[in-house]
Amino acid sequence: MSATIIDGKERAAALRAQVARAVPRFTERTGRAPGLAVVLVGEDPASQVYVRSKGRQTIEAGMESFSFTLDASTTQEELLALVRRLNTDDAVDGILVQLPLPSQIDEHAVLAAIDPAKDVDGFHAINAGRLMAGLPSLVPCTPLGCSILVREQLGDLSGRHAVVVGRSNIVGKPVAMLMLHLNCTVTIAHSRTVDLPGVCRSADILIAAVGRPEMIRGEWIRPGATVIDVGINRLPANGDGKTRLVGDVDFASAVQVAGAITPVPGGVGPMTIACLLRNTLQAASARCGIAFDELMG
């Protein structure tokens, strides 16, 4: 039997449309559009693609996009000065500093300098702590996208076993916390986990966020499980100089076993930017004392 393919593109388009419908309601009440500032340091080609895409989709949703491209030799002090300026700029509701940063810049120092109320990536320790405590917070975009896809696929998640493979601050830890808040029993597995295939096989919901191309194979998956593949790995294609994108899951074997699975590309990826737009509107609403849920309808 072949798994249901979870269409992240379609789901992301629906979320973007929902945000785009809510933006005029915000603008009507405040006299301005929500604003997102995206900062790119250096010339990493993948980051350039992501940042362009973020800017375009921000504008398409009816929001204001502020884009800052800094030289690869930018000092930490210069970047911190920009972040402080954006923190105090009333037209800016969300600030995103694209990662990775050049080696002369301490990523943690930069993320800590972002006003937590404008931290649309949800990476600030205040937002990470609030998520852990079950308090309202800005939630990292990729984990939020994963949780939306799983909820839409399965409905109530109470008592399901979610296995998260990967323990990064950006995906693994926050997505585990979201699954816990949705009443899953949660296991966080990683490179030192004993019998990783066996642990994966015990999952009702398997979330792969390890950054290892096609590591998780069909034999590691419990028949009928829901598989969410966060990996975006670029591999050389058939020796013709081109590349292809693959996930952390070996799709060809996994699709034979899983109940539902996200493809790469077209699964979790599109949800990330849609959730960024959602977070920007959430931050803008909170800054203006407007009920976000009411705005989203």
Positions marked catalytic: 54, 98, 121
Angle between helices 141-154 and 268-288 (to 10 degrees): 110
Q: Between residues 221 and 262, which has the closer beta carbon with respect to ligand GUN? A: 262
Contact between 96 and ligand GUN by CB under 6 A: the answer reads yes
Binding segment (CB under 6 A) for ligand GUN, from list 57-65, 91-99, 188-196, 207-215: 91-99
| Residue range at the interface with ligand GUN (CB under 6 A); choices 76-84, 94-102, 143-151, 252-260 | 94-102
Site membership for ligand GUN, residue 229 (CB under 6 A): no
Site string for ligand GUN, 269-288 (x = CB under 6 A): --------------------
Burial 149-187 (b: 16+ CB within 10 A, else e): bbeebbeebeebbbbbbbbbebbbbbbbbbbeebebebb
User: How far separated are the first and last CA of the chain, in Å rounded?
Assistant: 38
Output the smallest distance, CB 98 to ligand GUN, in A: 5
Q: Based on the shown chain and the rule CB under 6 A, indicate whether residue 99 belongs to the binding site for ligand GUN.
A: yes
Q: Min. distance of Cβ 252 from ligand GUN in angstroms?
A: 26
Give dist(CA 284, CA 72) in Å, integer: 30
By beta-carbon proximity to ligand GUN, the closer residue of 144 and 284 is 144
**Closer by beta carbon to ligand GUN, 97 or else 254:** 97
Q: Which residues contact 95 (CB under 8 A, 6 or more apart)?
A: 36, 37, 39, 83, 86, 87, 114, 115, 118, 119, 120
Q: Is 98 in the site for ligand GUN (CB under 6 A)?
A: yes
Nearer to ligand GUN, 70 or 257 (CB): 70
Distance of closest approach, residue 121 Cβ to ligand GUN, in angstroms: 5
When CB distances to ligand GUN are compared, the closest residue is 99
Q: Which is nearer to ligand GUN, 254 or 270 (CB)?
A: 270
Residue 121 sits in the site that holds ligand GUN (CB under 6 A): yes
Determine, following the binding rule CB under 6 A, whether residue 141 of this chain makes contact with ligand GUN: yes
Site for ligand GUN in 68-87 (CB under 6 A): none
Q: 53 and 24 in contact (C-beta within 8 Å)?
A: no
Q: Give the residues lining the site for ligand GUN (CB under 6 A).
A: 96-99, 121, 141-142
